[in-house]
């Protein structure tokens, strides 16, 4: 297969972890006879510095014409304590999601047997956890009207959802649930919000089209609690943009190593793959960041193109590196810590 992949390394540790994923993908392509065509493009603070824009038109052109996007991370501390900065890296992220129509963010959370004791949660609470949060990514309060009134003394944001937006996301949720344990949980705040009531009503109406899927409805506050109490109770969850932002980050704690959690964001046509850790500026340039989340994101990419064996091969070498202790300092636990680039080289060589 020939795949054109846009390569958006972004900020902080982004470039370093992306480099390792590219090595691993190239090794897989060689082994399985695929042709990967990497197309680097600017994004984030790096793009602001170069062209004054966090998601430049040229980058969008490249992404829109690619088969998939591999994304590192964006964000830079110099923007963090200046919420009123006119141009911010995050705007690039939001613009990219919207312009590429990436309406569904897929965030699996699972445990690695060898890392289970790294979790802040007790082993018996998390063993067997394998859940997936499907976060709506191009609607809700992220993209509603917002502004100021009364000479700047009143601020407002609007949380809006249309039935069609909810159906589109929920359909993906039902479909994914059908490939897993056939349980779907709709997470909302329908006891307060009208938009949540529309979510609940829309999902309820879709239940008849998926008679095998068992659907439950829970309030976001209760889920924030239960998710760390009994994470293995959950399977597929669907939720609005803001709730998903909070819950996916909360869920990332379960596995014990955020440095390993991959994600994908999908649209009608576009597909983007990224590690869930951020740009982690403190570690940037030091060759110490864990590249596995990005490597596992690349596995999701292969899988989405039906290249299951290729995805399996990536996961196999990742597990092997964990078992043999070829890991970065976050996982080294006193033993020898390998550099980001060393882990990447080792993985590529093992394929």
Residue 99 CA neighbour count, 13 Å, CB half: 17
> Is the distance from CB of 30 to CB of 61 less than 8 angstroms?
no
Which residues on adjacent β-strands are paired with residue 174?
Answer: none
**Which among a copy of itself, ligand IPM, none contacts residue 88 (Cβ within 5 to 8 A by kind)?**
a copy of itself
> Is the distance from CB of 290 to CB of 330 less than 8 angstroms?
yes
Q: Is 151 a catalytic residue?
A: no
Nearer to a copy of itself, 34 or 197 (CB): 197
Of 334, 269, 257, 238, residue with least CA distance to 296? 257
**Which among a copy of itself, ligand IPM, none contacts residue 190 (Cβ within 5 to 8 A by kind)?**
a copy of itself
In angstroms, what CA-CA distances link 292 with 74, 317, 322?
17, 10, 10
- Residue labelled with tokens 């059908």: 178
Q: How far is the CB of 223 from ligand IPM (least distance, A)?
A: 12
- For ligand IPM, the binding residue among 6, 25, 93, 215 (CB under 6 A) is 93
Q: How far is the CB of 339 from a copy of itself (least distance, A)?
A: 25
> Is the distance from CB of 105 to CB of 176 less than 8 angstroms?
no
Helix axes 292-304, 308-324, angle to 10 degrees: 160
Task: Tell me whether residue 135 is annotated as binding.
Answer: yes
**Which among ligand IPM, a copy of itself, none contacts residue 61 (Cβ within 5 to 8 A by kind)?**
none
Contact residues toward a copy of itself (CB under 8 A) are 81, 83-84, 88, 90, 94, 120-122, 125, 141-142, 144, 146-148, 150, 152-164, 189-198, 200-201, 217, 220-222, 224-225, 228-230, 242-243, 245-250, 252-253, 258
Annotated binding site for Mg(2+): 221, 245, 249
- Residues contributing to the site for ligand IPM (CB under 6 A): 90, 93, 191-192, 221, 245
Could you list the active site residues? 142, 189, 221, 245, 249
């Amino acid at each position: 297969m020939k795949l054109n992949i846009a390569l958006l390394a972004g900020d902080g540790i982004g470039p370093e972890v992306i480099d390792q994923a590219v090595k691993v993908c190239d090794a897989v392509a060689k082994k399985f006879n695929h042709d990967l065509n990497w197309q680097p493009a600017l994004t984030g603070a790096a793009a602001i510095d170069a062209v004054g824009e966090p998601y430049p038109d040229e980058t969008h052109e490249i992404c829109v014409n690619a088969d998939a996007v591999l994304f590192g991370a964006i964000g830079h501390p110099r923007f963090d304590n200046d919420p009123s900065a006119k141009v911010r890296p995050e705007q690039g992220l939001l613009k990219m999601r919207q312009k590429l129509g990436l309406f569904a963010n897929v965030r699996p959370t699972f445990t690695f047997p060898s890392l289970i004791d790294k979790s802040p949660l007790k082993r018996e609470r998390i063993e067997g956890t394998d859940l997936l949060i499907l976060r709506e990514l191009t609607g809700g309060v992220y993209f509603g009207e917002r502004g100021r009134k009364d000479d700047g003394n009143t601020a407002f944001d609007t949380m809006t959802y249309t039935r069609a937006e909810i159906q589109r996301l929920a359909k993906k949720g039902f479909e994914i649930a059908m490939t897993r344990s056939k349980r779907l949980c709709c997470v909302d705040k329908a006891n307060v919000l009208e938009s949540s009531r529309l979510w609940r009503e829309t999902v309820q109406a879709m239940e008849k089209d998926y008679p095998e899927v068992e659907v439950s409805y829970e309030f976001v506050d209760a889920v924030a609690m239960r998710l760390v109490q009994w994470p293995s109770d959950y399977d597929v969850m669907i939720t609005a943009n803001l709730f998903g932002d909070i819950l996916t980050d909360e869920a990332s704690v379960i596995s014990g190593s955020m440095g390993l959690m991959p994600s994908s964001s999908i649209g009608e046509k576009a597909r983007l793959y990224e590690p869930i850790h951020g740009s982690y500026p403190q570690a940037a340039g030091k060759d110490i960041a864990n590249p596995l989340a990005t490597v596992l994101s690349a596995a999701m990419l292969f899988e989405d193109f039906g290249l299951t064996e290729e995805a399996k091969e990536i996961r196999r070498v990742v597990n092997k590196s964990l078992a043999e202790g070829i890991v970065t300092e976050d996982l080294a636990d006193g033993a020898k810590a390998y550099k980001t680039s060393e882990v990447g080289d080792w993985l590529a060589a093992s394929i």
